[in-house]
């Protein structure tokens, strides 16, 4: 008995020791866990004892860690470096003199030929001459890299690489300097931040080089500036001549996105190089989070680029139609939402009861038998609670084999659902939208005969499935149809305002084609992106604000070529104030998610009109200091402004700053309470704007249209006369509210200046809180 007790005591002591060791190991592990941080330094605060700022950076880092190394050093986008530290080391480092912020790295995510015709670029050769100035414009695309063999990078007819170009074509896995040419003039890759977090890149799965194994980067870069390619198509869909928006502009690819995402240290390093390389436009179809501007790496990098005269275009995000769903909200970024074009790919669902329903598909392969086939709902062919979604392993083969299966949209990818159905023995698939996607239809190159239908049609089809004892169905593929009306309509997935960081700045700025867009593709992946898809295509059709962003990037390049001395703000203003918000019929642009008229919170200033943007008449210009005054109005500290701007800037103690003073081409008026009170305490808010004449001499007269009887709008003066180019004139807009105001509501108005030839439009969004 005594031996047993002693034995138990020893075991308990051992267990207690093991628990103690285990707990200590966990604590120790947590304390030693390293993360990537971006260190913002106040370069002007460098002690005189250091000869070079890099020595100072290194000394600061070594003071908290003997082993930590700098991943990247930054000169243009910020002053500072990135490194890997423990949380305690990062805290110690941030407490040192001269260090502004030590910010944890963030992960960003990626947010796609008929658009030239749809935008009117094919019918206006007199307005859009192919000039040498266009071939001097360089578009830097930060994405998944580039597939240099794409026909869209053919450099036939292009002259020498612009002398302004300072970039390089980097070698790496499956990529050499010889892959670049006079069209694709540069290619770099940035992986140190990614590898620091997730480990070395597996080169059996992706190329440690600028090569695009994903397709997204090739699609965006060729959308912006792809060369003219005859007979482009995807499985004979969308057949025609493919071309980017600026066919003679040069492309520089910066690979920042990998299988595990896009990391902020790599994005900043790429923007750093793009600025050094002398690009004219930066296009980024990525985003993540809604951080304050001084904490957002994309916003910080974009500020530095803007200050050096580089136009920055970013995607709004694909989180629509929810409000407050925008990414990339900084006012110095051009934020782009997505609309449809007038082309569709119809594939009809024909039920056994004789009823037909329209859908869309890019399927090209073996045809279905020319007869009605048995039809089953996925939720009734599965034992899983989410079987209706056709998740991997959820369908019972005996219940779907030889049939067409209806799957609900959601959670897993649309094309993967078809793959699951095919693996279970289904002959085809009908993909039905749920309330989350409504009536928005996105075409896919499915692996089996399949079509996608909207929520309303899906509900009717499911009702038939649930009530008919022997349901049957056929799918009829109709190819490519053009002239679809109304178009454009705002895509349901396109992220919406209001601006969650600064409600007084209306975002998105503009919409552009982003649904079912044909452009170049990678030779390393099939059109669905699934590993089991062994098809290879030169062009692919995909959708997203990732596709609308490079449209605007390319159009900005056209405007830049025509007006080489214009600032990024002037170029954006030209695109915004000439955008349209009504169809030729006079009806308002529609929102596919509601089937009702869209609003400026959906489309910003409207849908881009590149021909009109080349001759806007007037522009709203802005300088870097204007944006810094805006930061003062946000009550940013000196350290926050320095972190964002990369230089010291002092907000005047005696000066009054207001976010409404920013010379933006659109208006967002935030009202609070009842009567005539507003957020800044002024009973009658006044907005001052200054316009610059970039056209011929003339007199512009103002007009106002408003849907809100509760807000009186007065513009003074009501006319502006210009006698010379670059002449500036200012006007004020006074908003007076009357009566009780509904809380948490919005209404809209529009202000236009016209001289009979030009119409300079500005949306006005009112919000009551």
Positions marked active-site = 143, 216, 546
Alpha helices (runs of H) in 204-282, residue ranges in sequence order? 216-225, 264-277
Q: Which helix (H) or strand (E) holds 460?
A: helix 455-467
Q: How far is CA 721 from CA 576, 664, 726, in A?
A: 22, 21, 12
Length of the chain (residues) = 769
Crossing angle of helices 297-307/264-277, nearest 10°?
10
Asked if the bond preceding 242 is cis, omega within 30° of 0, the reply is: no
Q: No. of H helices and E strands in the chain?
A: 18, 40
Distance between CA atoms of residues 212 and 420, nearest Å: 27
Token pair, residue 332, equals: 């110095």
Distance between CA atoms of residues 517 and 548, nearest Å: 9
Hey, is 459 helix, strand or coil? Answer: helix
- Torsion angle (degrees, nearest 10) of CA 130, 135, 140, 141: 40
Q: What are phi and psi of 262, to 5 degrees?
A: -120, 120
Whether 408 and 432 have beta carbons less than 8 Å apart is answered as: yes
Whether 545 and 337 have beta carbons less than 8 Å apart is answered as: yes
Crossing angle of helices 216-225/545-562, nearest 10°?
30
Token pair, residue 220, equals: 């965006």
Token pair, residue 758, equals: 């030009």
Hey, is 466 helix, strand or coil? Answer: helix
Q: What angle do CA 339, 242, 598 make, to 5 degrees?
A: 5
What is the chain's Cα-based Rg?
A: 28
115, HSE (Cβ side, Cα atoms, 13 Å): 37
Write a three-state SS string for 25-85.
HHHHHHHHCCEEEEEEECHHHCCCCCCCHHHHHHHHHHCCCCCCCEEEEECCCCCEEEEEE
Q: Which helix (H) or strand (E) holds 283?
A: strand 281-284
Among 370, 479, 360, 474, smallest CA distance to 428 is for 474
Q: How far is CA 479 from CA 127, 296, 348, 443, 543, in A?
A: 33, 44, 11, 11, 18
Token pair, residue 722, equals: 């210009």
Q: What are phi and psi of 549, to 5 degrees?
A: -60, -50
Distance between CA atoms of residues 345 and 541, nearest Å: 11
Q: How far is CA 392 from CA 121, 419, 423, in A?
A: 44, 9, 9
């Amino acid at each position: 008995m005594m031996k047993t007790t002693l034995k138990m005591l020893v075991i308990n002591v051992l267990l207690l020791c093991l628990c103690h060791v285990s707990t200590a190991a966990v604590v120790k592990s947590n304390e030693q866990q390293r993360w990537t941080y971006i260190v913002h330094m106040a370069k002007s605060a460098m002690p005189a004892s250091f000869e070079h700022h890099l020595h100072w950076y290194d000394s600061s880092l070594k003071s908290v860690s003997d082993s930590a190394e700098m991943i990247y050093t930054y000169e243009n986008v910020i002053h500072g470096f990135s490194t890997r530290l423990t949380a305690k080391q990062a805290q110690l480092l941030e407490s040192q003199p001269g260090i502004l912020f030590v910010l944890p790295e963030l992960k960003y995510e990626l947010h796609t030929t008929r658009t030239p015709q749809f935008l009117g670029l094919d019918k206006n050769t007199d307005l859009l001459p192919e000039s040498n100035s266009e071939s001097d414009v360089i578009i830097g695309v930060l994405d998944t890299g580039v597939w240099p063999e794409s026909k869209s990078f053919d450099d036939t007819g292009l002259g020498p690489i612009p002398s302004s170009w300072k970039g390089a074509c980097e070698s790496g896995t499956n990529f050499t300097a010889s892959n670049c040419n006079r069209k694709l003039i540069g290619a770099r890759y940035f992986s140190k931040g990614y590898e620091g977090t997730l480990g070395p890149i597996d080169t059996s799965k992706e190329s440690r080089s600028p090569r695009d194994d994903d397709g997204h980067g090739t699609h965006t870069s060729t959308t912006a500036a792809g060369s003219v390619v005859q007979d482009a198509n995807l499985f004979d869909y969308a057949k025609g001549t493919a071309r980017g928006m600026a066919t003679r502009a040069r492309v520089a690819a910066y690979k920042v996105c990998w299988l595990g995402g896009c990391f902020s240290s790599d994005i900043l390093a790429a923007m750093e190089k793009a600025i050094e390389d002398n690009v004219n436009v930066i296009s980024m179809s990525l985003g993540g989070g809604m951080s304050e501007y001084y904490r957002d790496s994309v916003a910080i990098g974009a500020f530095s680029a803007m200050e050096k005269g580089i136009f920055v275009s970013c995607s709004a995000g694909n989180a629509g139609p929810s409000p407050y769903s925008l990414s990339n909200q900084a006012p110095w970024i051009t934020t782009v939402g997505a609309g449809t074009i007038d082309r569709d790919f119809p594939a009809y669902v024909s039920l056994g009861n004789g009823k037909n329903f329209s859908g869309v598909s890019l399927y090209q392969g073996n045809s279905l038998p020319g007869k009605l086939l048995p039809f089953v709902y996925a939720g009734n062919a599965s034992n899983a609670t989410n079987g209706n979604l056709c998740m991997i392993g959820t369908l019972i083969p005996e219940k779907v084999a030889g049939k067409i299966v209806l799957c609900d949209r959601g959670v897993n990818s649309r094309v993967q659902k078809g793959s699951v159905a095919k693996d279970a023995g289904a002959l085809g698939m009908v993909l039905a939208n749920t309330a989350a996607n409504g009536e928005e239809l996105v075409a896919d190159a499915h692996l089996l005969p399949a079509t996608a239908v909207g929520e309303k049609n899906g509900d009717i089809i499911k009702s038939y499935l649930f009530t008919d004892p022997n349901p049957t169905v056929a799918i009829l593929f109709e190819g490519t149809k053009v002239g679809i009306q109304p178009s454009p309509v705002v895509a349901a997935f396109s992220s919406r305002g209001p601006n969650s960081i600064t409600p007084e700045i209306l975002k998105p700025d503009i919409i552009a084609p982003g649904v079912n867009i044909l452009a170049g593709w990678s030779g390393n992946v099939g059109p669905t992106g699934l590993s089991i898809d062994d098809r290879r295509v030169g062009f692919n059709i995909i959708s997203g604000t990732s596709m609308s962003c490079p449209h605007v990037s390319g159009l900005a390049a056209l405007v830049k070529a025509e007006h080489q001395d214009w600032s990024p703000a002037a170029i954006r203003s030209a695109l915004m104030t000439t955008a349209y918000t009504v169809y030729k019929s006079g009806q308002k642009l529609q929102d596919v998610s509601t089937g009702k008229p869209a609003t400026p919170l959906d489309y910003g200033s409207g849908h881009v009109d590149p021909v009109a943007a080349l001759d806007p008449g007037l522009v709203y210009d802005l300088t870097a200091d204007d944006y810094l005054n805006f930061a003062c109005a946000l009550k940013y500290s000196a350290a926050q402004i320095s972190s964002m701007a990369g230089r010291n800037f002092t907000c005047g103690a005696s000066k009054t700053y207001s976010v409404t003073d920013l010379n933006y081409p659109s208006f967002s008026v935030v009202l609070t309470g009842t009567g005539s009170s507003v957020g800044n305490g002024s009973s009658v808010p006044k907005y001052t704007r200054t316009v610059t004449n970039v056209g011929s001499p003339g007199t512009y007269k103002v007009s106002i249209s408003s849907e809100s009887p509760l807000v009186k709008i007065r513009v003074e003066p009501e006319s502006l006369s210009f006698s010379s180019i670059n002449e500036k004139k200012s006007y004020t807009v006074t908003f007076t509210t009357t009566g009780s105001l509904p809380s948490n509501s919005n209404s809209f108005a529009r202000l236009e200046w016209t001289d009979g030839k030009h119409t300079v439009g500005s949306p006005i969004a009112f919000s009551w809180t």
